[in-house]
Amino acid sequence: RTDLALKEIMSSGGAEDDIPQAERKTVTDFCYLLDKSKQLFNGLRDLPQYGQKQWQSYFGRTFDVYTKLWKFQQQHRQILDNRYGLKRWQIGEIASKIGQLYYHYYLRTSETSYLNEAFSFYSAIRQRSYYSQVNKEDRPELVVKKLRYYARFIVVCLLLNKMDVVKDLVKELSDEIEDYTHRFNTEDQVEWNLVLQEVAAFIEADPVMVLNDDNTIVITSNRLSETGAPLLEQGMIVGQLALADALIIGNCNNQVKFSELTIDMFRMLQALEREPMNLASQMNKPGMQESTEKPARRENPHKYLLYKPTFSQLYTFLAASFKELPANSVLLIYLSATGVFPSGRSDSEGPYDFGGVLTNSNRDIINGDAIHKRNQSYKEMHCLHPGDLYPFTRKPLFIIVDSSNSVAYKNFTNLFGQPLVCLLSPTAYPKALQDQSQRGSLFTLFLNNPLMAFLFVSGLSSMRRGLWEKCQDYLRKINRDIAQLLTHSRSIDQSFLQFFGDEFLRLLLTRFIFCSATMRMHKIFRETRNYPESYPQLPRDETVENPHLQKHILELASILDVRNVFLENTLDDY
C-alpha cells in the first residue's frame, strides 16, 4: 500500500526526489494507519458475538487506530490533498467506520450514549457532504458505500427516536437509489427498494399520533427516565436482584422490520434502556478506563438482539448469558415469535407436550412438515419448548412470551426454587379490533408504551400533546398504586417481589398488570384467550381485578372521553 501511495505521489507531484522528506513521511504514515485501521476493522467480524469480555481489548485497539487516523488526516489535510490525492469520500469512509464502531459498541454494551456518538459522526458526513462527489465517479461500488451509509445512519436515528431526521434521510436515500439504478442498471435495485419500503413501514408502525398545536408529530421516548419507574415506598420488602442480561428474540412471520430488528424487538429493547446521557461528560473513549467520576446511575442491562435465530444460536447465546450472569442478578428472556403447536396427541403433560415458539430452520420447512406427518409421536424440532429453558432456572429468570402459543409456558415448573416469573401474552385478540399484528404486538406495545396501547384499544388514533401529558401523569399515579397493590398483597408469589427491587422489572410488572386489568374491563375482550396470563398466577382480586385499579382505569377513560368502551362494573360480570 505504501509503495502504491508513493507512486501516486510521483504521478501527482513530479519526480520523487522533488518531494520533501517530511511530506513523504506524512503520506507513508497515513498509508500505514489506513492499512492498520482496515485490518483491525475487518478483524471485528471474526470476534465471537457472545461473551462480554473477549472483544473489549480488540475494540479498544481499533478505536485507538481510528482516533489517530482521524486526527492525522485533519492535521495533514493539505499535504494529503496535494501529495496523496485524498478525496472527500475517503474521509467520509473513515468517519463512517468510526460511526459503525460506536454503533457496534452500543450493541455490545447496551450503553445508549454511544448511539449519540455514532450519530454525531454520521451527521458530520452529511453536513460536510463527504460523499457528494461519489456520483461523479463511474464506480458503482462507491455509490453502494454511500447507500449503506444512509441505511446505517437511519438505524441509529430510529434508535434515538430522531424521526424528523429519518424522514429526511429516507427522502435523500430514495433519490440516491433512483440515480444509482438509472446510471448503472444494477441487479440490486429490488433490494434497495425493499430497504425503503421496510423503513417506511417501520416509521408508521405506531398506531397513535401525538400532535403539537401546529399538527406536527411529537416524538415520544419510551426509555426509562428518572421519573419512569414507580419509586419504592419506605419499608417495602422487595428483593435486591438486578437485571443484568437480556435476550431479545424476534421470530414473527410478516412483522414490520428494519435491518435485523422487528418492531417488537425495537420496542422491547427501549423498555430495557435508560435515556441516553451526553457521553463526553461521562466517560472516556470506549476501550479505555472509565473516568474517575462515574455516572451516578446504574448502567443498562446488557442485551443480545437475536433476529430469527436457529435453536443452536439461541441456546448458545442463552448459555453465554447464563454463564456470565453475576451474583444476585437476573436474566431476562423476551420471546416474540410465531407459536408452534404440538402435532400429535400426548398422554402426558410434560414440558415438551404443549409446543412453544418458533426457532428458525435452515432447511426447507416443507421437508420438516413431511417428517412430522410420518411420525406424530416426535416433538417439534424447530421450537423452543418450555422444557428447553429448565436448565437455566438454576438462576433468577424473568421470561416474557409474546406469541399465539404463549400459554405453553404456563405449564412451567420451578425445579430449583430460584425466583422465576413468566409474563404471557394473550393468544388471540378480539376480531373487532382491527388486525395490527404486522405493526407489532399489542401486548408488547403495552409493556413499552402503555398509554399508546390504551388509546389504541379505545379506538383513538391521534391525540393533542397537552392531553397526552395529562394522561401520562395520571398513568404514573396508576403505576404507583399498582406497585402498592403488589407489595401489600398477602397471597402473591414471592418471585414477583424478589424481582420488584429492579427498576426495569418493576416497570414491566406494573405495566403488565395495567395491560391485564385494561383488557379484562374492555367490552370486546371477552374470551379467556384475550387476556394475558402469568406463571406463577397473580392473585386476581388483589391485582388485575382489584376494584381500586378498575376505578383508576375508568377515570383514565373519562379523561379521554372513551368510558363507553369499558364495562362500568366488571366485578358483577364474573
Model confidence at 14: pLDDT above 50: no
The pLDDT score that the predictor gives to residue 376 is 61
Is the sign of the CA dihedral 221, 226, 227, 229 positive or negative?
A: positive
Of 515 and 354, which is predicted with more confidence? 515
The pLDDT score that the predictor gives to residue 574 is 42
Q: What is the mean pLDDT of residues 284-303?
A: 55
Do 420 and 503 lie in a common domain? yes
291 — pLDDT class (breaks 50, 70, 90): very low
- The distance from CA 37 to its chain's CA centroid, rounded to whole angstroms, is 29
Do 186 and 44 lie in a common domain? yes
Q: At 370, is the secondary structure helix, strand, or coil? A: helix
Model confidence at 296: pLDDT above 50: no
* Residue 113 domain boundaries: 1-208
Phi, psi of 422 (to 5 degrees): -120, 125
Of 300 and 282, which is predicted with more confidence? 300
In a domain, residue 509? The reply is yes
Q: How many structural domains are present in the chain?
A: 2
Comparing 173-182, 204-213, 364-373, which segment has the lowest mean pLDDT? 364-373
The pLDDT score that the predictor gives to residue 434 is 66
The pLDDT score that the predictor gives to residue 272 is 95
1 — pLDDT class (breaks 50, 70, 90): very low
In a domain, residue 411? The reply is yes
Integer Rg of the chain from CA:
27
The pLDDT score that the predictor gives to residue 215 is 85
Interatomic CA distance for residues 374 and 111, integer angstroms: 49
Residue 399 contacts residue 409 (beta carbons within 8 Å): yes
List Cα–Cα distances, 333 to 326, 384, 402, 495, 520, in angstroms.
Answer: 16, 12, 11, 16, 26
Q: 420-424 and 397-402 as β-strands: parallel, antiparallel, unpaired?
A: parallel
Model confidence pLDDT, tens digit, residues 415-474: 999 999 999 999 999 988 866 778 999 999 999 999 999 999 999 999 999 999 999 999
Do 199 and 309 lie in a common domain? no
The pLDDT score that the predictor gives to residue 149 is 95
In a domain, residue 228? The reply is no
- The distance from CA 151 to its chain's CA centroid, rounded to whole angstroms, is 16
Residue 310 contacts residue 337 (beta carbons within 8 Å): no
Do 157 and 14 lie in a common domain? yes
Q: What is the mean pLDDT of residues 179-187?
A: 83
Do 246 and 356 lie in a common domain? yes
Do 127 and 254 lie in a common domain? no
The pLDDT score that the predictor gives to residue 235 is 64
Q: 356-358 and 339-340 as β-strands: parallel, antiparallel, unpaired?
A: antiparallel
Long-range contacts (CB closer than 8 Å, 24 or more residues apart) made by 460-463: 460/208, 460/560, 460/562, 461/207, 461/208, 461/209, 462/208, 462/209, 462/210, 462/211, 463/208, 463/209, 463/210, 463/211
21 — pLDDT class (breaks 50, 70, 90): confident
Do 316 and 395 lie in a common domain? yes
Q: Give the amino acid at 479.
A: N
Of 266 and 278, which is predicted with more confidence? 266
Model confidence at 363: pLDDT above 60: no
CATH number of the domain encompassing residue 453: 3.40.50
In a domain, residue 83? The reply is yes
Model confidence at 345: pLDDT above 70: no
282 — pLDDT class (breaks 50, 70, 90): very low
In a domain, residue 8? The reply is yes
The grid coordinates of residue 442 equal 399489542
Of 287 and 37, which is predicted with more confidence? 37
In a domain, residue 432? The reply is yes
The pLDDT score that the predictor gives to residue 319 is 95
Residue 515 contacts residue 246 (beta carbons within 8 Å): no
Interatomic CA distance for residues 471 and 474, integer angstroms: 5
Do 100 and 249 lie in a common domain? no
Q: What is the mean pLDDT of residues 61-90?
A: 92
347 — pLDDT class (breaks 50, 70, 90): low
Do 159 and 254 lie in a common domain? no
Of 289 and 359, which is predicted with more confidence? 359
Of 217 and 391, which is predicted with more confidence? 391
In a domain, residue 224? The reply is no
Residue 202 contacts residue 158 (beta carbons within 8 Å): yes
DSSP state letters, 500-517: TTSHHHHHHHHHHHHHHH
Do 262 and 197 lie in a common domain? no
Q: Which of 126, 124, 123, 118 is nearest to 99 (CA)?
A: 118
Q: Give the amino acid at 140.
A: P
The pLDDT score that the predictor gives to residue 162 is 92
Bridge partners of 242? Answer: 329
In a domain, residue 251? The reply is yes
Model confidence at 10: pLDDT above 50: no
Q: What is the mean pLDDT of residues 33-58?
A: 86
Model confidence at 281: pLDDT above 50: no
Q: Which of 176, 178, 223, 169 is nearest to 200 (CA)?
A: 169
Interatomic CA distance for residues 478 and 408, integer angstroms: 30
Model confidence at 148: pLDDT above 50: yes
Alpha helices for 204-349 (secondary structure H): 263-271, 311-324
* Mean pLDDT, all residues of the chain: 86
Q: At 73, is the secondary structure helix, strand, or coil? A: helix
Model confidence at 558: pLDDT above 70: yes
Of 344 and 66, which is predicted with more confidence? 66
CATH number of the domain encompassing residue 143: 1.25.40
Burial category of 193 from C-beta neighbours within 10 Å (exposed 0-12, middle 13-18, buried 19 and up): middle
Q: Is 313 left (phi over 0), alpha (psi -120 to 50) or beta?
A: alpha
Model confidence pLDDT, tens digit, residues 527-538: 999 999 999 999
Model confidence at 227: pLDDT above 90: no
379 — pLDDT class (breaks 50, 70, 90): confident
Burial category of 343 from C-beta neighbours within 10 Å (exposed 0-12, middle 13-18, buried 19 and up): middle
Q: At 404, is the secondary structure helix, strand, or coil? A: coil
Its pTM stands at 0.90
Do 203 and 258 lie in a common domain? no
Close Cβ partners of 540 (under 8 Å, ≥ 6 residues apart): none
Do 5 and 79 lie in a common domain? yes
The pLDDT score that the predictor gives to residue 188 is 83
Comparing 6-10, 92-96, 515-519, which segment has the lowest mean pLDDT? 6-10
The pLDDT score that the predictor gives to residue 55 is 83
Model confidence at 396: pLDDT above 60: yes
Of the candidates 184, 208, 232, which is a domain's last residue? Answer: 208
Model confidence at 254: pLDDT above 90: no
Of the candidates 208, 225, 256, which is a domain's last residue? Answer: 208
290 — pLDDT class (breaks 50, 70, 90): very low
258-280 per-residue burial string, b: 16 or more CB within 10 A, e: under 16: bbebbbbbbbbbbbbbbebeebe
Of the candidates 157, 190, 208, which is a domain's last residue? Answer: 208
520-553 per-residue burial string, b: 16 or more CB within 10 A, e: under 16: bbbeebeeeebbbbbbbebbeebbbbbeebbebb
List Cα–Cα distances, 353 to 303, 339, 346, 420, in angstroms.
Answer: 30, 14, 7, 21
